[in-house]
A and B are shown apart, each in its own frame.
Chain A
Amino acid sequence: MRVVGQEILTVKNLSKEYVCGHKAVDQVSLTVNKGECLGIVGESGSGKSTLARCLLALEKIDEGEILLKEKSLYNANKKSLHPVRSEIQAVFQNPSASLNPKLKIIDSLMEPLDFQRKIQPSFLMDIRNQRTKMAERLFEMVGLPSKYLSYYPHELSGGQKQRVIIARAISIEPALIILDEPTASLDVSIQAKILNLLKDLQEDLGISYLFISHDLAAVNFMSQRIIVMKQGQIVDQCSKHDLFSDRRHPYTKDLLHVFEA
């Protein structure tokens, strides 16, 4: 059962400026509730991916606060980040870059579970000590045949690789998965399958998503609430049902126009 309202991620007044003086993220505040998908839409350079990198603690932030399950990520050091890292996972645009070409799929897939022995995901509890069985179950959850476990990344298609990444992201049952353009490099039919899979998994596991994309139609399909970013700032936010309301920001209306043309 989903508990609605419990805040998984809270971001307050987050700012990030790059060395060149470019303010990539400017005073951004948002929350993601348990079991919810929050969509962020914006053009290239709107700061949405920098925001994702800040939330993953891959970038230091200049100002503001990030709370993941009430624990602060604000410029935390590596050691104190360790327990937090298991609560947040990411799926990026290019699945090939997320898999080590020299490792068999099973070894890439199982890395989080191999190294974080203490984690007991609810759906793997009964077989936590049986590595191959866990891998097979994860593959079943994302709809891949288990024969691919012994393959190398180059033997899989883009859509199959993205399924492996998704299996790895859910494997430690994180509280939040950041999906940064997860289907941008895939064909429309494969995109449909991946988006459906992500929705199925969210309903089954109650994981929260932050879904980042320039594709308003995909964001609208996935999310309950939508944030529109432009030049590092949030210019508009609304629930999915209010997307066509007259009160929307002119920029949101421009975006809608592009997708309805």
Chain B
Amino acid sequence: MIQVTVLAISDLTIQHRKTMIVQNIEMSVDEGDWFALVGESGSGKSVTAAAIGGLLPRELKAASGSILLDGKNLVNLKERELRKYRGTVISYIFQDYQGAFTPFMKIGAQLDEMLRTHTNHSKKERKERALHSLKLVELPEERVYNSYSFQLSGGQLQRAAIAMAMILEPKLLIADEPTTALDSMTAANILQLMADLKEKAGCAVFFITHDLRHVRKYANKVAIMRNGVIVESGMKSNVFHQPKHEYTKALFEAIPSLRKTSARLSSHL
């Protein structure tokens, strides 16, 4: 089977004035991949994710390198051009699921707005498609369609955010710490849902986290980032079984283990 590359980042450097935030990073995500970018606060992982969709804050600039999405370079593309990609080819979900919806409109109306902007569907088709997308994320579709965001729980809202992100069948779903604000059971369910949707839709997932535990089950490729540099990357099985970099090893050791309990956690980071 020929692997189709969805996203190829090469030699990307992002600067804030003279300070390097992200330095010469390389990564490539193929169709069907679950690519995990792992790092701590301040490592540059969210900045990298923002750069892909052209969501960098004004003070940050891509100083060099390229971000190829489906072969088209997105670096320094005009906002008007970028808008055609966001939502349709790339979509995002974030840690802050409350920020995904405005509290002033019902969820259904916000899904409808997205479809109205990007498709030529009739009103009836749009409603059908919106309901279908909510059903795919295992929500009670009629009720959620008619609800405001504050009427849903955290886990339900994140599901609705995933429904909105997936409704136009993007090629790349960027998930920036999607489960960090959720409890562990809900988080496990959300990750399973993302995995199922990925299989059905055949898209790629670009998954950002600081917790290696979330990477173990679903990712097939991993990159570990620290201080704006990728210190180690490769297939998950290699990185997990034979971590080469000291930092990767330290990240594993900092996580409390259920079976091997020690008096103190390793904290050589």
Check: B18 CB closer than 8 A to any chain A CB.
no
Q: Are B184 and A189 in contact (CB under 8 A)?
A: no
Check: A45 CB closer than 8 A to any chain B CB.
yes
A216→B256 CA distance, assembly (Å): 9
A25 to chain B, nearest CB (A): 17
Q: Which of B156-205 contact A (CB under 8 A)?
A: 182-186, 188
Q: Are A217 and B153 in contact (CB under 8 A)?
A: no
Stretch at the interface among B27-35, B131-139, B210-218, B234-242: B210-218
Chain B residue contacts of A114, Cβ below 8 A: none
Chain B residue contacts of A43, Cβ below 8 A: 183-186
Q: Digit string of A228-261 for contact with B (CB within 8 Å is 1, else 0)?
A: 0000000000001001100000000011101111
Please give me the residue from chain B that is nearest to A230 by CB atom. B185
Check: B154 CB closer than 8 A to any chain A CB.
yes
Known: A187-B40, A192-B254, A218-B256. A255 touches B184 (CB 8 A): yes
B149 to chain A, nearest CB (A): 16
| Additional A-B contacts beyond A217-B255, A240-B261, A256-B258 (16; CB < 8 A) | A43-B186, A44-B154, A44-B182, A45-B153, A187-B41, A188-B211, A189-B254, A192-B254, A192-B265, A196-B267, A215-B184, A216-B184, A217-B258, A218-B256, A243-B258, A258-B184
A256→B213 CA distance, assembly (Å): 13
Check: A15 CB closer than 8 A to any chain B CB.
no
Chain B residue contacts of A256, Cβ below 8 A: 258
A116 to chain B, nearest CB (A): 32
Q: Digit string of A160-192 for contact with B (CB within 8 Å is 1, else 0)?
A: 000000000000000000000000000111111
Q: Are A196 and B185 in contact (CB under 8 A)?
A: no
A-B pairs with CB below 8 Å: how many?
81
A215→B11 CA distance, assembly (Å): 38
Q: Are B255 and A255 in contact (CB under 8 A)?
A: no
A193→B267 CA distance, assembly (Å): 6
- Residues of B at the A interface (CB closer than 8 Å) are 40-41, 153-155, 182-186, 188, 210-213, 216-217, 250-251, 254-259, 261, 263-267, 269
A-B contact pairs, 15 of them (CB 8 A): A43-B183, A44-B186, A187-B40, A187-B210, A189-B267, A190-B40, A195-B256, A196-B267, A217-B256, A243-B258, A244-B259, A255-B185, A256-B258, A260-B259, A261-B188
Chain A residue contacts of B266, Cβ below 8 A: 192
The secondary-structure label for the interface of chain B is loop
Chain A residue contacts of B217, Cβ below 8 A: 261
Q: Digit string of A191-227 for contact with B (CB within 8 Å is 1, else 0)?
A: 1110110010000000000000011111011000000
A144 to chain B, nearest CB (A): 15
A44→B153 CA distance, assembly (Å): 9
Range, interface on chain A: 20 to 34
Q: Are A188 and B185 in contact (CB under 8 A)?
A: no
Q: Are B265 and A195 in contact (CB under 8 A)?
A: yes
9 A-B pairs closest in CB distance: A189-B269, A214-B183, A192-B265, A221-B256, A192-B254, A217-B256, A187-B40, A192-B267, A258-B188
Please give me the residue from chain A that is nearest to B189 by CB atom. A258
Chain B residue contacts of A220, Cβ below 8 A: 256, 258, 261
Q: Are A188 and B254 in contact (CB under 8 A)?
A: yes
Please give me the residue from chain A that is nearest to B183 by CB atom. A214
Q: Are A259 and B184 in contact (CB under 8 A)?
A: yes
A220→B255 CA distance, assembly (Å): 12
Q: Are A260 and B41 in contact (CB under 8 A)?
A: no
A221→B213 CA distance, assembly (Å): 16
A192→B255 CA distance, assembly (Å): 7
Chain B residue contacts of A191, Cβ below 8 A: 254
